Homo-oligomer: A and B are copies of this chain.
Amino acid sequence: MTRRIELQVHSEEERERRDAAANRALLLETAERLFTEQGVEPVTMAEIAQVAGVGKGTLYRRFAHKGELCLALLDNQLLAFQDSQLDELRQLHEREVPYLEQLAHFLRAVVAFTEQHMPLLCEIAQYTPVPDGEDLERPHSWQYMTVHGLIRRAQNAGELAPDVDAPFLAEALLAPLVAHTYRFQRERLGFTPERVSEGLSRIVQDLAAAS
């Protein structure tokens, strides 16, 4: 046998060596602890490596930059969020709740998620070298697809005019929830999460009413 055929769709990158896997876990634990103690932003990559007792090279071999590390830390919670949302949307769908109402519900959940993970999300956005980005926007990307999907279904169901630009509308509804923009609203404008949720719901409602 020359090479095992890749069967799994996801994360089949021919497994890390044992020491590598151990270090990945160690680094994630260390980072999480330091973040809890000092907050995300002030902790440096060098500090994480040092406290974990490995060289910087090792740290950077696992995580190309601080953003990737933060994303890894968020990964489990992101998966959980996605699962719970898919589930809730399915339930709403079974109860034949209109798509635009599902959308409002989903946006509310995204607000909560953003609120909860603001520091990590800001850091992820910060350390994403412009042209790269691909997977760093993963949280946003999934949210975008979901919102876009709900909008299109709403259009198909006649809840929303079919000539509305669904991709743009999806982006516009999520734009206030981009980490830095959201933080600005929270910290400088003094908006509460509820206020943001309500505001977005209202926009969605009015879009429906206009159709």
Residues of A within 8 A of B (CB): 41, 125, 130, 133, 137, 164-165, 167-169, 171-172, 175-176, 178, 180-181, 184-185, 188-189, 191, 195-196, 198-200, 202-203, 205-207, 209-211
Main secondary structure of the interface of A (DSSP, over half): helix
Whether B167 lies near A198 (C-beta < 8 A) is: no
CB within 8 Å for A203 and B169 given contacts A133-B188, A175-B181: yes
Whether A165 lies near B202 (C-beta < 8 A) is: yes
Whether B176 lies near A171 (C-beta < 8 A) is: yes
Query: Copy number of this protein in the oligomer?
Result: 2
* Among candidates B178, B198, B210, residue contacting A209 with C-beta atoms closer than 8 Å: B210
Min CB distance A167 to B, Å, is 7
Whether A168 lies near B181 (C-beta < 8 A) is: no
Beyond the given A165-B195, A168-B191, please list 9 additional residue pairs across the A-B interface where CB-CB is below 8 A. A164-B202, A165-B199, A168-B198, A168-B199, A169-B199, A175-B175, A175-B178, A203-B203, A206-B210
